[in-house]
Structure 1
Amino acid sequence: MTAFLVLLAACAAAATTGMIFSPGAWYDALNRPAWTPPRWAFPVAWTTLYVLIALSGARIATLTGPAIQGVGLALSLWALQIALNTFWTPTFFGAHRIDVALVVMVALWIVVAVMVPVFWRLDRLAGLLLLPYLGWLSLAGALNFQIWRNNPAG
């Protein structure tokens, strides 16, 4: 339970960037694709995902016995993904750097795509819990790409 609460706190810290750097008028003025999810979907999705991400990491952090081989790599990947996750929002919404945010998003997607099989080998449920995150990042990455493409001046 302690590992879950610590990792959930890290996710909450990442989530605070969404409160500090909210979409606002700049985002509203961007040419976004018609399939952009409604604004209310983002906090619902991220709240759910952050709980799943923390739960997945906690399952790995509390492994014992022979399963602990590979835990260091898994938790390092977890730390890297939460750092990239935290960096994306101020880059996109704060600095208005759609291009740099896209690079961050691609890096984040790659890290999570690597995390899934690493976590899966250690704990199948931990790997499965990351699949919605990877799916959402795929949508978010496609959205970031389309916004970058539709708004060449940023």
Structure 2
Amino acid sequence: MDLTLFPLFLATCAVPAAAGVLFKPGDWYRDLDKPAWTPPNRLFPLIWAVLYTLMSLAAARVAIYPDNDLALGLWSLQITINTLWSAVFFGLHRMLGGVVVIALLWVAVLATTVAFWAHDILAAVMMVPYLAWGTFALALNVSVWLRNRDRDSATS
């Protein structure tokens, strides 16, 4: 692994992290009907700090291998999709749109994980917590949308 690449990938993760800061949950989210298994808001920054660190380490590991274009292209795609979710869900209050974005994100993270596996098994393993979190987040997003369809800006 080239440790000079890790800060570059981590800095890229600052973009979706900034979107999370710009588009905060706020009163709208607080007032939604959410399932009992919704994590407390204070856990989200901690979870994302760990996930951004792991996905950046994984990308830095894969970056040293030849023919890594597809793997790093998929990493770039997933981080781009990741950036959209906060704006769609918290910014626009489009819960169904959030479901679509996070479903696309899940597919992109899965594809990235598989592509990383072809180069570096440890890098792929580092992506598994992100894939697990994405699975949980997708289920949570779907549940919140189903419970609050009448409050989705796309349908009101």
Sort the TM-score into its range (normalised by shorter chain). Answer: over 0.9
User: 1:79 maps to what in 2?
Assistant: 76
What is the identity percentage for the equivalent residue pairs of Structure 1 and Structure 2? 44
Q: Distance in 1 between matches of 2:4 and 2:140?
A: 35
User: 1:52 maps to what in 2?
Assistant: 54
- Residue number among 109, 122, 133 corresponding to 1:125 in the alignment: 122
Q: Secondary structure at the match of 1:36?
A: coil
1:137 paired to 2:134 = yes
Q: TM-score under structure 1 normalisation?
A: 0.94
Deviations 1:22-42, CA, capped at 9 Å, x for gaps:
111000010100100111111
Q: Whose helix proportion is higher, 1 or 2?
A: 1
- 5+ residue gaps in structure 1? none
Q: CA deviation at 1:2?
A: 2.2
Q: Distance in 2 between matches of 1:62 and 1:3?
A: 9
Q: Distance in 1 between matches of 2:56 and 2:114?
A: 17
RMSD value, Cα: 0.8
- 5+ residue gaps in structure 2? none
Q: Distance in 2 between matches of 1:100 and 1:112?
A: 18
User: 2:15 maps to what in 1?
Assistant: 13
* Letter of the structure 2 residue corresponding to residue 33 of structure 1: P
Q: CA deviation at 1:88?
A: 0.5
